[in-house]
A = this chain, B = another copy of it.
Amino acid sequence: MKAKIYLTYKEGILDPEGNAVKRALKSIGFNSVDTVQFGKYIEMTFTGVSKEEAEKLTDEACRKLLANPNTQSYRFEVAEQ
Contact = CB atoms under 8 A, between A and B. Distances in A.
A42 B46 contact: no
A14 interface: no
A25 B62 CA distance: 10
A57 B28 contact: no
Interface residues of A, number: 34
Contact of A24 (B24, B33, B42, B65): B65
B64 A28 contact: yes
A37 B49 CA distance: 19
B8 A32 contact: no
Interface of A: 6-8, 18, 21, 24-25, 28, 30, 32-49, 53, 57, 60-61, 64-66
